[in-house]
Structure 1
C-alpha cells in the first residue's frame, strides 16, 4: 500500500493538476504584464496546441481563472479576459486600498531583517527591469511587490484577497491606463520600504493609500481595442 500511495503522488505531480496550474499561472502573469489585455479571446484549441494537452485540462485552468475573475466564460464566445466596467474599477481599487491599509501595519509588526531584505530585493528587481526597458516585466514585478507585502503580513486570508485584487487591478490598468503613463512609481516603493524599516505605521499606511489613489486617478475611462497573438503573449511563461 505505501508503494501505491507514492505512485499516486507521482501521477499527481506529473498529471493534469500541474499542467493546468501552469496554464493558470501563465495567463495571470501575462495579464499582470499587460500582454493579455481585457477582451482578449482565449481559444481552447490554442492552449491545447501550445501546451500539448487535452481540452479537459485546458477547461480546468479556465474554470479556475473564471473563479478568480481573471476571465469570463461567455455563452457562444468561450473564454475572454475580463473587462471590468468603470464602476467595477472604482470598487476594486476601493477594496484594494482597504485591504492594503490592513496589510502594511502587519508587515511592520512582523518585520525582520530577512523580510526587509526581501522587500529591498523585490524593489531592486523592479528597478533593473525599468532600467533595461522591460516594461512588461516592470509592471508584473510592481504587482508582485504588493503581493510580497501581503505574504509578509502573515495573514493567509488577506493574501488570497490580494492575489485576486492585484490581478484584477492589472486588468483595469490595461484597459484604462493613459498612454505613456507610469502606473507604479518605484520611488514610492522605495519610500514605503524605508517607512516599514523605520516601523512608522501611520506614515506607511498613509503612503500606501496615497500610492493606490494616485494609480487610480491616472486611469482614463476609454476602451482599448487591439488584437493579441496568444502564443506571443504567453511566451516565456
Structure 2
C-alpha cells in the first residue's frame, strides 16, 4: 500500500515527509493502534513546525489512519469489532467486483506478472521476511484493483486496506498468516481461465478466512444483552 503521492490535485507539501513516515510506520506495524502521536516529539524528529505536523496528521485522519481528538491530540486509529466486520463486508463486495472485471480482459502478460508477484510472496514467506511478505500480500490485492481499470474501486480498496492493516495489527492471532499464499495462487489460476464468477467466489472464501483468523474482543453491548 502506498501513501498518497503528490499529483496535480495534491501538490507536494512541506508535510509530505511526515505524512509518509507515519503512514509507512503504521502500515508496517512499527506504530501500533492507539499509539499517541505527540506533536512536540514529531516536530523534533522531523525538524518541522507544529503547523506542518498538524497538516500531516489532518491528512492521515482523512484516511482514518489517525484519530485526532480536540484538546487531547492525535493517536494511531483503533478500529473496533463492528468496524472490523463492516470493513471486511465492504472488501468482499468491492473485491468480488474487482476480480470479475479483471477476468473480463486479463491477458497472458497480466497473468505472468501476477505469477511473478506470487513467486516474490513465496520467497519472502520462506525466507522469514515477514514485513516484506505482508507488504507483498497486501500489494497483491491492490495489483488486482489496478488491473481492473476501475479507479473508483481502486481508491475504495486502498482506503479499506489501510484499515485492514490496523485491524490485523490489533486482532490477528500470533502465528496466523494474514494472507495465505495458496489462496492467492488459486485466484490467479481462476483469473487465467477468465472465470470471473469462480474468482469472485474464491475471493469471498479468502476474505472470510482472513477475517476468521482475527480474535475480536466481545463488544460491551453484547455482554449487556446477555447479562439481562
* TM-score, L = length of structure 2: 0.84
Q: Secondary structure at the match of 2:12?
A: helix
Q: Provide the residue aligned with 2:117 in structure 1.
A: 122
Correspondence list, 1:158-177, <5 A:
158-177=153-172
Distance 1:53 1:118 in 2: 41
Question: Given that residues 187 and 203 in structure 2 are in contact (C-alpha distance below 8 angstroms), is that contact kept between their aligned partners in structure 1?
Answer: yes
Which of 89, 94, 110 matches 1:94? 89
- The alpha carbon displacement at 1:109 in A equals 1.7
Which of 194, 199, 216 matches 2:189? 194
Question: Given that residues 101 and 196 in structure 2 are in contact (C-alpha distance below 8 angstroms), is that contact kept between their aligned partners in structure 1?
Answer: no
Q: Provide the residue aligned with 2:20 in structure 1.
A: 25
Q: Provide the residue aligned with 1:209 in structure 2.
A: 204
Q: Provide the residue aligned with 2:223 in structure 1.
A: none
Distance 1:58 1:99 in 2: 33
Q: How many positions carry a matched residue from both structures? A: 210
Classify 1:89/1:144 alpha carbon distance in 2 versus 1 (closer, same or farther; 3 Å).
same
Q: Provide the residue aligned with 1:141 in structure 2.
A: 136
Deviates more, 1:197-206 or 1:108-117: 108-117
Distance 1:40 1:23 in 2: 16
Indicate the RMSD between aligned Cα atoms, in angstroms: 2.2
Distance 1:32 1:125 in 2: 19
After superposition, what is the alpha-carbon deviation per residue over 1:123-149, rounded to whole angstroms, capped at 9, x for unaligned?
A: 222222212212122112211111111
Correspondence list, 1:68-107, <5 A:
68-107=63-102
Distance 2:121 2:20 in 1: 20
Q: Secondary structure at the match of 1:180?
A: coil
Question: Given that residues 127 and 186 in structure 1 are in contact (C-alpha distance below 8 angstroms), is that contact kept between their aligned partners in structure 2?
Answer: yes
Q: Which runs of 5+ in 1 are unaligned?
A: 1-11, 224-237
- The alpha carbon displacement at 1:60 in A equals 1.8
- The alpha carbon displacement at 1:222 in A equals 4.0
Distance 1:221 1:173 in 2: 10
- The alpha carbon displacement at 1:45 in A equals 2.9
Q: Which runs of 5+ in 2 are unaligned?
A: 1-6, 219-228
- The alpha carbon displacement at 1:19 in A equals 4.9
* TM-score, L = length of structure 1: 0.81
Classify 1:57/1:110 alpha carbon distance in 2 versus 1 (closer, same or farther; 3 Å).
farther
